[in-house]
């Protein structure tokens, strides 16, 4: 494990303290979870962008042409 020294505005520190207390976890756990969530989101965005670059419109349209042209059930409509 690594240690990091972090300077936070008092207001943010207070908010983090209250959130950690409400979740019944330590501030360290809360900050670690928050960082993990952000890293995951950023990595997912990069992954999806890379996949999109490999996309092929003609192949997509060919696949969509195979989908039955039926209306969705009433409970599944927007």
Q: pLDDT tens digits, residue range 12-48?
A: 999 999 999 999 999 999 999 999 999 999 999 999 9
Structure tokens belonging to residue 46: 């990069």
pTM of the model: 0.61
The residue count for the chain: 78
% pLDDT > 70, the chain:
100
* Helix, strand or coil, per DSSP, at residue 73: coil
pLDDT reported for residue 53: 92
Structure tokens belonging to residue 29: 């756990």
pLDDT reported for residue 76: 92
| Lookup result for tokens 């419109």 | 57
* Letter string b/e over residues 18-43, b meaning 16 or more CB atoms within 10 A of that residue's CB: eebeeeeeeeeebeeeeeeeeeeeee
**1 pLDDT tier (thresholds 50, 70, 90):** confident
């Amino acid at each position: 494990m690594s240690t990091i020294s972090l300077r936070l505005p008092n207001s943010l520190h207070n908010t983090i303290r209250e959130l950690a207390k409400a979740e019944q976890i330590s501030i360290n756990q809360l900050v670690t979870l928050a960082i993990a969530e952000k890293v995951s989101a950023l990595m997912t965005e990069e992954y999806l962008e890379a996949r999109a670059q490999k996309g092929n419109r003609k192949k997509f349209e060919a696949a969509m042409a195979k989908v039955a042209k039926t209306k969705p059930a009433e409970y599944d409509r927007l």
